[in-house]
Structures are given as structure tokens and as C-alpha cells.
Chain A
Amino acid sequence: NAGVTQTPKFRILKIGQSMTLQCTQDMNHNYMYWYRQDPGMGLKLIYYSVGAGITDKGEVPNGYNVSRSTTEDFPLRLELAAPSQTSVYFCASSQRQGSSGNTIYFGEGSWLTVV
């Protein structure tokens, strides 16, 4: 299994541009998440999904959109990039509650800079 795969790894955007961070997992996990990691601020949950077709806002959803058309994919879209969105973005996934212990698996991260 590749686990959780994110692309791109690095990206520089101009203010006002839009882009999509791709995330896919091959573990057949129901739950998927997008976090952003800012220095000294820890990880903040942007959006999450409990299954295909279902998404919900996390702590910091403003400026982002998500969709979950398949179990495997959970893309994160930035419509009008702002400097405040400069961050490292982590996609993650986990199984439904059960014997797996609900471990959350993370992708390698996407470094985004908005200038």
C-alpha cells in the first residue's frame, strides 16, 4: 500500500490564483481529513469527510473547499489564494471505529507559499 499520497509537494501561488491539492489513499479508509500546519500553531483541521459524498467543516475552513466523490480521493481547493494560506498542508485518513484502533495516517505534506 502507498498509504496517503498528496500532490504537489511544493507550490508557489500568486495572490488570487486558485489551485487544488490532491489527496488519495489506497487503504479503503472511510474518514479523510485536511490539516494545515503553521509554525508554532500546531495542526488545525480544515475539512474532513466521513465517507464518499459527505464533507464537513473543521476549525479553519474559510478560503477552502473540498469534495469527496470517491472513497479514495479528497481534494482540497483554494479558490482565491491569500498570503494567510501559506502553510504546510497534510491530508490524512483513518478507518471507521473498530479493531484497527482508529489510527490516523498522514500524507507527506504539501508546502504552499502564496506571494
Chain B
Amino acid sequence: AQRVTQPEKLLSVFKGAPVELKCNYSYSGSPELFWYVQYSRQRLQLLLRHISRESIKGFTADLNKGETSFHLKKPFAQEEDSAMYYCALRGQGAQKLVFGQGTRLTINP
């Protein structure tokens, strides 16, 4: 079974502090992992995916197959990072995404 777990529903950090949003998954094969972000009153949009190994808006995420994790990190949080963040998994050969419960990130000034 495919499962994505985001253990923190709420995360609050101060501006300029490092931030890490946790994501763990369970899947027997080789998954594709994604982070989606939803800013207030906006649609979900792709932030980054593990196959691209890119940094978007200062965020990075590394797939750790040993720990089955795909944590999202940013060294210096900014107020505009406040949003809902969803980790998602796509199984091999599949199209649909399985989402985690989401983490609401609040950056305090």
C-alpha cells in the first residue's frame, strides 16, 4: 500500500530561521516524490520533485530511501513561505498522486 505521512499538522518558525517539513512514505517499489504548496486562497502548485533535484524558492528536498523520507528544507525562512505544504507520492507506472495530510507552515516576523 502507498502511504504518505506528514507528522506535523502545524509548524511555526521565525523569519530567518531554518525550516524543515517532514515527510515519510511507505511504498515497496521506487516512488516519485513531490512537494506541493498551497498559498492562501490559491490552488495547489508543484513546488519541487525529487527527480529534478532542484531548489525552488530556496527549498530543497532529498529522497532518502533508507529512511523512506523526503523532508523539505529551507535554511532561512521568509514570511512569504507561509502556506500549506503537501508531500505526495506517485507509484511506479501510476499517474495518480497519494497525498499526505499536509503541514501548515507559519513564518512569524
Contacts and interface: CB of A to CB of B under 8 A. Distances in A.
Contacts of A97: 95
A51 B45 CA distance: 23
Contacts of B43: 4, 90, 106-109
Given A48-B95, A48-B96, A58-B96, A108 B42 contact: yes
A74 interface: no
Given A90-B44, A104-B46, A108-B42, A42 B95 contact: no
A102 B6 CA distance: 23
Given A33-B96, A40-B101, A97-B95, A106 B45 contact: yes
B95 A103 contact: no
Given A43-B86, A103-B46, A106-B43, A31 B95 contact: yes
By size class, the interface of chain B is 20 to 34
Nearest to B42: A108
Q: Is the interface of A mostly helix, strand, loop or mixed?
A: strand
A109 B44 CA distance: 9
A97 B51 CA distance: 14
B9 interface: yes
A58 B98 CA distance: 10
A101 interface: yes
A31 B94 CA distance: 11
B106 to A, nearest CB: 15
A94 interface: yes
Interface string A30-66: 0101010000111111001010000000100000000
Contacts of A44: 99
A75 B103 CA distance: 29
